[in-house]
Structure 1
């Protein structure tokens, strides 16, 4: 790990946390223990070799601990690593307020959106029965054209994301321009305006649509979404 040659605490923190990709790796671990493949799903453009290197560096710095499994390892933040969650939240809030104008069309990745949605759904707030959502996106960058249709099964034990029809009865269909839905998901635009402008449509029984809006926290008016982390298992 490259150093700054200073004893300053800011420099020492930056030596560990401010390397390329490291904040995003820590972000993934803030949601609880993760297997290597789960971490990589949150940073798909990062090479697996570099992820291995960053995890080793974080472990050497006392930020990450590992637990052996029958196959592979489970990575979790140490108490020192958990304290970095405050920095990650501050970065998220700053980016929401000052960095969203920098989003380029080619950065609109439906896979990352679905992964981000999945990890921020509070399963404890879901009803006893499953909720099945089908998502149909348009305006997708060419590189992700094959990932237009998605299914999400929301249940108290887990949230399952599928690229193929799981065969379950669909409760709600969400059809949306990808960029518009990203803006609504981030809380930068209200759902009501996006629906009135034809950018997003929700179809299904009114009670189920209302329930889905509640569990996904899709607000009718703009309300910047604050990054929150579920307690580690």
Structure 2
């Protein structure tokens, strides 16, 4: 990290926070990501080499503690109290961006939306106990396909066909509308009615799918982990 050579706290803080990808890495850590692969999954486009470099920089800045895993290879990455204290900064940035920036197709990557959904907005209490596979056909960015794999009250995102057959298919023709639904500014029914999202499958699963998404929570809660808002986790 290069120094601005200024005494100003804004300049000193920017030396750490304003590095490319650092806010995203901090967000992922504060959302509970603890392994290298978990952090990387929430930062599509970030190379593994640069992620390694940024994590080491955060360790030197005393925002991250890196420890060997108790079992197996690799490391665990734990945010320090200094990192936890970044929540108000992230929330302020989120509020500013919601008011002053536009959400465009460039930002509306369904992969990132699904990651955020599963990581911080999944209503595990409403998930079916039986295995359910939901295929998402994303019509932008090379027409990618992703899968939501639900089993035993948990879920994960798969970038390859899990091989159990698709129970529900969701076609995303307007990724901005999908992101707006995730952010809470567009009802699911309106997105489906407009043709932005098309869902096929058994009626019970079609009706249940949007209920698996939890409502955004206020960041006025007492614990940072409970203070996640859609604008921060997106």
Deviations 1:3-41 (A, max 9, x none): 232333222222211111111111111111421222222
Mean Cα deviation higher: 51-60 or 87-96 = 87-96
Correspondence for 1:36: 36
Structure 1 segments, 4+ long, off by >6 Å, are: none
1:151 aligns with one of 133, 147, 151: 147
Measure the CA separation in 2 of the matches of 1:191 and 1:157: 22
Please report the RMSD computed on the Cα atoms of aligned residues, expressed in angstroms: 2.8
For residues 180 and 40 of structure 2, what CA distance do their matches in structure 1 show?
24
CA distance in 1, matches of 2:133, 2:95: 28
TM-score scaled by length of structure 1: 0.78
Q: Is this contact kept in 2: 1:194–1:200, CA < 8 A?
A: yes
Runs of 5+ unmatched residues, structure 2: 217-228
Task: Answer yes or no: is the 8 Å Cα contact 2:94–2:232 preserved in 1.
Answer: no
Pairwise CA distance, 1:63 = 0.4
Q: Which runs of 5+ in 1 are unaligned?
A: 220-224
Residues of 1 paired with 2:66 and 2:200: CA distance? 44
Evaluate the alpha carbon distance shift between residue 157 and residue 63 of structure 1 in structure 2; reply closer, same or farther with a 3 A threshold: farther
1:209 aligns with 2:206: yes
Q: Which residue of 2 aligns with 1:96?
A: 98
Matches within 5 A, 1:215-230: 215-217=212-214, 226-227=230-231
Alignment match, 1:87: 89
* TM-score (structure 2 length as normaliser): 0.78
Structure 1 residues 53, 82: closer, same or farther in 2, change over 3 A? same
- Report the counterpart of residue 172 of structure 2 in structure 1: 176
How much has 1:84 moved relative to structure 2? 1.0
Structure 2 match to 1:222: none
Aligned length: 218
Tell me how far 1:170 sits from its aligned partner.
4.7
Alignment of 1:58-97 (within 5 A): 58-69=58-69, 70-97=72-99
State the Cα distance separating 1:205 from its structure 2 match.
4.1
